[in-house]
Amino acid sequence: MRKITPFLWFDKDAEAAANFYVSIFDNSRIVSTTPGPDGNAMHVVFQLEGQDLFALNGGPHYSFTPAISLFVSCTTQDEVDRLWEKLAEGGTMQQCGWVTDKFGVTWQVIPEILGKLLHDPDPVKSGKVMQAMLQMQKIDIAKLQEAHGS
């Protein structure tokens, strides 16, 4: 286990959320499930792409906000498209690659190239990339590259 592990508090959907996430991401699995007094899962440990996460059915006391999000680094447009579409099912699409899933967890589905283009030493090029990104919900690599001029 890593020293720092995200811990997600759900009202009652911890197991459903963990199973949903594991179905979307490669190299992912349910590690363990601890039943609660009612027989339903109280605590689920799972891995997404090798990252440990904990999920708890803690009741309605807390809810998620976009102030904390899970950042997903993608290498291709196909990966961006696939993850975005799955995470957006029943959720809310937002600007700049952000999406809140049907369980209320916010994700950033971002292609690796975005950071490279935004950090171009030419401020005109990086500015054009920023302006293009601000017009997008799901990030489109080809449009970013077009804005950059590459």
Q: How many domains does the chain have?
A: 2
Same domain, 120 and 79: yes
CATH number at 89 reads 3.10.180.10
pLDDT tens-place string over residues 72-90: 999 999 999 999 999 999 9
Q: Which residue has the tokens 């963990």?
A: 18
- 15, 106, 144 from 9: Cα distances, Å: 11, 13, 35
Same domain, 55 and 68: no
Same domain, 52 and 70: no
pLDDT tier for residue 1 given thresholds of 50, 70 and 90: low
Same domain, 44 and 73: no
Considering 41, 60, 79, which residue would you say is the last residue of a domain? 60
Domain residues for 140? Answer: 64-150
